[in-house]
Structure 1
Amino acid sequence: MSARHDSSPLTHQVTLTVLTLAAFALAIVVDFGFYAANQADEASLERQKIFIADGLNDQIAAVQREQESVTVWDDSVTNVRAGNQAWIEENLSTWMYSYYGHNRVYILDAANHAIHAMREGKVVAASAFGEDEPELRPTIDKLRHMLGEPLKADASGQPAKMVAQDLVSLQGKPAILSVMPLVPSSDRVSQAPGTEYLHISAEFINDAVIGKIAAKYLLDGARLVPLSEPVGPAAVPLVDSRGVILGYIGWDQLRPGLTLVRKIAPALAIALLVAGGVLVFLLRRLRRASAALQTSQDQAQYLAFHDTLTGLPNRALFEDRLRRMLLFAGQDGTHVALLYLDLDRFKHINDTLGHPAGDELVRQTAARLKHTIREADTVARLGGDEFAVILLDIPDAGSVEDIAERLLMKLREPFRLIGDQVFVGASIGIALSSGPDTDADDLLRKADIALYEAKKNGRGRYEVFAGDMDDLLLRKRKVESELRKALDGDGGIKLAYQPVFAADGRRILGAEA
């Protein structure tokens, strides 16, 4: 029986160890699986972003090709020079909308003045160009600069295309912008440098355009995401040449890794449930005991250094902070102020309204003190209606007096206790650290003496500790001590009588002791 009894704890330990190791190994496998799936999803997302970016570049190139079909044309140059608005409308503006889907077209003369404008397939006043000009101007200037430079060749040796493009925001909507000069397609029409008319075409990046891009790469849910909406990981920013984000192209992310995990999830879930169930059964009691112990320790730690009624630091934490702050102040060359505060009519409130009202008064007082001082300072409850405040980095006594006055004014405001409005007030004693050698106990004593003086001089006020207060208190305590000794001893006090004479100075009427 003894052997069986001795082996039971060991068996339990071994079983628990094996189960823990098994759970650990399973967790590693699961984590690795999710890691691999996540990596596959991340790689797929990067490919999807490349697809969208390439598709957007293709669409920009398509806008340029479509625009080039009408800008490199003898008829375009001659009819625009002649001001043939009907021809311009049919071939350079509304046709660009109906055939290619370009949303806005502007024709500018050599001085960059608009001579024709089209929006959404309808010719509008040329002055409409002014609404979009601030967004279009940088690209127009860029093309004019290119036209003023010597003609360059591209990589194939052919003359480089004269085109300036960008992404812009027109009335809050992102668009592909392409600006090209109207140039002859043959030598039959001559054109002097600097006299070129400009063809400006803008195609909004809307859901239809994005849908064409996404369809090419089999991406679902492609849409335009404005800046006002949150954007997920499956998104590509629409950035102009200055680096400003105009919006995003978003889509439903393809997640091959997650899809695979979902397929194997049922079998994996069963394995996890079996292993987890055994592990939970074995660890449940230990967790409960550990949680209860931790809660108990946390509560004991809190109660050891905080007042249960107000949640403020208690005397132990207060004295520890005071010593630390004096040490830091001594190293930094700054001053610390200590305020002792005592409510003036606390006993009366307890006697008339009861202890619940007194407790509520203490809580409200603590809240007012905490909201009046700085966050870096400390307010503590020392017991009953006694509070203490530690103020850091105090330049002079005047600053402390200003704070004390604010505290007194705050505490003079009426308190609402159990449906009644009561007025309390307080007395404050102040002591200032004198240098790096200031002792915490000595500062406490001085603040206590100053509080005593404040109460003695009428309450509802503050007093700053001065050296003569110490002397007066010492003399008072000396008289008190000597009087006690005299009362306890024999012959320490003698009774003497002084006669009381009549007005004539001859007759004795009585005596006073």
Structure 2
Amino acid sequence: MNEGPNSSPLTRQVTLTVLALAAFALAMVVGFGIYATAQADHVSLERQKILIANGLKDQIAAVQREQESVTVWDDSVTNVKAGNEPWIEENLSVWMYTYYGHNRIYILDAANHPVHAMRDGKVLAPAVYGEDEPELQPTIQKLRAMIAEPPKQEASAGPAKLVAADLVSLGGKPAILSVMPLVPSSDRVTQEPGSEYLHVSVEFINDAVIARIADQYLLDGAHLLSLSQPVGSAAVPLLDSRGIILGYLGWDQERPGLTLVRKMGPALLIALLVGVGVLAFLLRRLRRASLALQTSQDRAQYLAFHDTLTGLPNRALFDDRLRRTLLFASHDAARVALLYLDLDRFKHVNDTFGHPAGDELVRQTAARLRQTIREIDTVARLGGDEFAIILLDVRDVRSAEDVAERLLQKLCEPFKLVDDQVFVGASIGIALSSGPETDADDLLRKADIALYEAKKNGRGRYQIFAGDMDDLLLRKRKVEAELRKALTGAGGIKLAYQPVFAADGRTILGAEALVRWGHEVHGALPAAQFIAIAEERGLIGELGKWALLEACRFVAGTKLPWVAVNVSPMQLRDVGFAEQVASILAETGLDPSRLQLEITENVLLENNDTVRSVLADLRGSGVGVVLDDFGTGYSSLSHLRRHAIDKLKIDRSFIRLLDEDDKATAIVKALIELALALNVDVTAEGVETDAQKTLLVGMGCHQLQGFLLSPPLEPGQLLALPALSSGGAPDWTAARA
């Protein structure tokens, strides 16, 4: 009984010690939790501030891009200086409000006097400009000073963009101000330096603008705070160029640390009630769970920003790094070079060795790129065989070219794939930042355009972006896309047929198939224009196959003795072209003797073994080969003898002068006699008068083609001609004689 009192203090001491240790441990955990929560919330808040600031910069850049769409325009210069008020209202003021949401537009003349004013879609008297002039004048003067300065540009970049922007307060409301001069978009319109009218655009930082920024970065409760309202930690100031605060952008702060603590609160409460042992158990479980969660988050974040095949940054991380790089470069005047690269024979490797070999090629390419560039630079895989490289602190164009040359040299070395050596090579497009106004998307677009030019000019090379590439490529890409659509039967592309007549002007010997494209917007497009684009963009094979198939299918069901189809030099350089022609003839059931393929003299001048072999195979199968536009190129008798042509077509440029120029008459007579001496047929194209027809028949030319006899006809119109609409089976032998 005496041990009770003695044990009680010990028990209490042990209990107190355990409780003290437990309390100390709990206090440490709670204290660490509070600190970690505060740190997480602080880091998150700083990130949110950066996102809001970036969003505001993006919005300012968007206003400038929108404004530039109407200020760099011939029509803007001419109509504003002519005082065409309806045009100005429709294109430069009300339209900017309706389409882009610009709240106020002022047009100033060369003396900065207002000639037009618009507020919230309503055109007002120009005098209202005076209400806003004190706030707008500094930025306007800044732009005038920029215009007065001599133009500065480097060899690799286009002319500097003339724009002055700032944040201003109008009527107590902060707004984005952008001022640009109205300048021509082409050489067709000129204006004296200093005579430029100015386009002043104001977009208030209202709920719609703030909502766009908030939606872009997934921030909740974004709102505008005036100077008189209390400002919390989740807010960034709106500063003008003088550092004056015009207001604040606030939002509902994300608190990941506090959210985590709230979720863990019940578990901690249970741990306290159960005891020290349960608390220790829960703490251990919590640590393991936190570690697993962090590992999972790290892995998910890595996968979200890296390419799984190569481990390189993916497009998302590349876009972020490029924007940040350009942002930092704008502060220290360093230039940034962007290299856009893709492999030249990647599809061939995939088709030949399979997709696993293609994946291995991509991995080896990524490794070589990493080895070639500096650690401070970034190489990313954008998809497929496309890579992008960000070069920091580039001194000049030559520095970027040196890197491109090293990359090309490295990628020209053989790759080891499937126990075999494969040679691939690459093409590179290069674009350099031109100053603090450089936009990431625009820089990437320029590099992409330069890459296209590199591939067009022969592959295995690099190309620096030049300003004139932009509009030309956009037009060509639009025509290319519409031509691809047209070849599927959805775009108005078709064949017309111009008959070839005998000397009597009535007997039809055959017809030439001509590609016609009735564009739904631009009407009939010149064949030479879209065929040149098809050759340049790699569509000529598809277009030529379509024309050949359509012509053979049509003629096979008619009495027409033969049809002539024009063939591109690129088709003749394809070793499989003769087999393609044979396949089409078999599919349509057309006799080879009823098909003639028209080529140009330039093809013969190439002296290409493939071309020579293809022409020999075509003639061996019974298909006729016609030399088109004869006499306009570098004609050579040796080429005619070597390739054994079946027919010569005298170009219309000689026929047109037959009854006007004795020299032209002598040339045509010599060409006809040459054809007769070579024992080949001869056709005169472009016959337009009876006098021309009489002279040609008298010289011995018995195949005539031209508007005098018939223009190009629709298939139905051709079949309706008397020579083809009569009954009975046609005599092909007589028709070809």
| TM score, norm. by length of structure 2 | 0.36
CA contact (8 A) 1:106 1:116 kept: yes
Partner of 1:102: 102
Partner of 1:88: 88
Partner of 2:691: none
Aligned residues: 276
Partner of 1:133: 133
> Aligned runs of 1:461-472 on 2, under 5 Å?
none
Partner of 1:184: 184
Deviation digits for residues 455-486 of structure 1 (CA, Å, limit 9, x no counterpart):
xxxxxxxxxxxxxxxxxxxxxxxxxxxxxxxx
Partner of 1:8: 8
CA–CA distance in structure 1, aligned partners of residues 156 and 114 of structure 2: 35
Partner of 1:213: 213
Equivalent position amino acid for 1:103 in 2: N
Q: Bigger CA drift: 10-19 or 21-30?
A: 10-19
Partner of 2:170: 170
Q: Flag the 1:38–1:273 CA change in 2: closer, same or farther, 3 A.
A: farther
CA–CA distance in structure 2, aligned partners of residues 120 and 204 of structure 1: 10
Cα shift at 1:170: 0.6
> Aligned runs of 1:353-432 on 2, under 5 Å?
none
Q: Flag the 1:12–1:193 CA change in 2: closer, same or farther, 3 A.
A: same
CA contact (8 A) 1:104 1:120 kept: yes
Cα shift at 1:148: 0.9
Equivalent position amino acid for 2:99 in 1: Y
> Aligned runs of 1:62-461 on 2, under 5 Å?
62-153=62-153, 157-272=157-272
Equivalent position amino acid for 2:112 in 1: N
CA–CA distance in structure 1, aligned partners of residues 33 and 269 of structure 2: 13
Q: Flag the 1:251–1:273 CA change in 2: closer, same or farther, 3 A.
A: farther
> Aligned runs of 1:26-45 on 2, under 5 Å?
26-45=26-45
CA contact (8 A) 1:154 1:160 kept: no
Deviation digits for residues 377-412 of structure 1 (CA, Å, limit 9, x no counterpart):
xxxxxxxxxxxxxxxxxxxxxxxxxxxxxxxxxxxx
- Greater C-alpha radius of gyration: 1
Cα shift at 1:269: 2.4
CA–CA distance in structure 1, aligned partners of residues 130 and 13 of structure 2: 83
Local SS of the residue matching 1:247: strand
CA–CA distance in structure 1, aligned partners of residues 154 and 59 of structure 2: 21
Cα shift at 1:154: 7.1
CA contact (8 A) 1:23 1:275 kept: no
CA contact (8 A) 1:151 1:160 kept: yes
CA–CA distance in structure 2, aligned partners of residues 14 and 78 of structure 1: 96
Partner of 1:55: 55
Equivalent position amino acid for 1:225 in 2: L
CA–CA distance in structure 2, aligned partners of residues 153 and 9 of structure 1: 89
Local SS of the residue matching 1:266: helix
Partner of 2:23: 23
CA–CA distance in structure 1, aligned partners of residues 148 and 54 of structure 2: 31
Deviation digits for residues 149-168 of structure 1 (CA, Å, limit 9, x no counterpart):
11123795211100000011
Cα shift at 1:238: 1.0
Q: Flag the 1:28–1:132 CA change in 2: closer, same or farther, 3 A.
A: same
Cα shift at 1:146: 0.5
Local SS of the residue matching 1:175: strand
Equivalent position amino acid for 2:150 in 1: P
Local SS of the residue matching 1:227: coil
Cα shift at 1:30: 1.7
Local SS of the residue matching 2:230: coil
CA–CA distance in structure 2, aligned partners of residues 182 and 214 of structure 1: 33
Q: Flag the 1:269–1:200 CA change in 2: closer, same or farther, 3 A.
A: same
CA contact (8 A) 1:179 1:200 kept: yes
Q: Flag the 1:156–1:230 CA change in 2: closer, same or farther, 3 A.
A: farther
Q: Flag the 1:145–1:272 CA change in 2: closer, same or farther, 3 A.
A: farther
Local SS of the residue matching 2:59: helix
Partner of 1:444: none
CA–CA distance in structure 1, aligned partners of residues 204 and 94 of structure 2: 15
Equivalent position amino acid for 1:203 in 2: E
Cα shift at 1:144: 0.6
Local SS of the residue matching 1:238: strand
Cα shift at 1:57: 0.8
Deviation digits for residues 235-276 of structure 1 (CA, Å, limit 9, x no counterpart):
121111111111111111222222222211111123346679
Cα shift at 1:179: 0.3
Equivalent position amino acid for 1:209 in 2: V
RMSD of the alignment, in Å? 1.8
CA–CA distance in structure 1, aligned partners of residues 85 and 238 of structure 2: 35
Equivalent position amino acid for 1:112 in 2: N
Cα shift at 1:7: 3.9
Equivalent position amino acid for 2:161 in 1: K
Q: Flag the 1:131–1:185 CA change in 2: closer, same or farther, 3 A.
A: same
Q: Flag the 1:24–1:68 CA change in 2: closer, same or farther, 3 A.
A: same
CA–CA distance in structure 2, aligned partners of residues 266 and 55 of structure 1: 38
CA–CA distance in structure 2, aligned partners of residues 46 and 169 of structure 1: 26
Q: Bigger CA drift: 159-168 or 9-18?
A: 9-18
CA–CA distance in structure 2, aligned partners of residues 13 and 156 of structure 1: 82
Cα shift at 1:51: 1.4
Q: Flag the 1:64–1:256 CA change in 2: closer, same or farther, 3 A.
A: same
Q: Flag the 1:191–1:136 CA change in 2: closer, same or farther, 3 A.
A: same
CA–CA distance in structure 1, aligned partners of residues 160 and 31 of structure 2: 54
Local SS of the residue matching 2:263: helix
Deviation digits for residues 416-436 of structure 1 (CA, Å, limit 9, x no counterpart):
xxxxxxxxxxxxxxxxxxxxx
Gaps of 5+ in 2: 277-737
CA contact (8 A) 1:107 1:197 kept: yes
Equivalent position amino acid for 2:49 in 1: K
Local SS of the residue matching 1:57: helix
CA–CA distance in structure 1, aligned partners of residues 184 and 270 of structure 2: 74
Deviation digits for residues 179-208 of structure 1 (CA, Å, limit 9, x no counterpart):
000111111111111111110000000111
Cα shift at 1:8: 2.8
CA contact (8 A) 1:225 1:231 kept: yes
CA–CA distance in structure 2, aligned partners of residues 80 and 88 of structure 1: 7
| TM score, norm. by length of structure 1 | 0.52
Equivalent position amino acid for 1:122 in 2: K
Gaps of 5+ in 1: 277-513
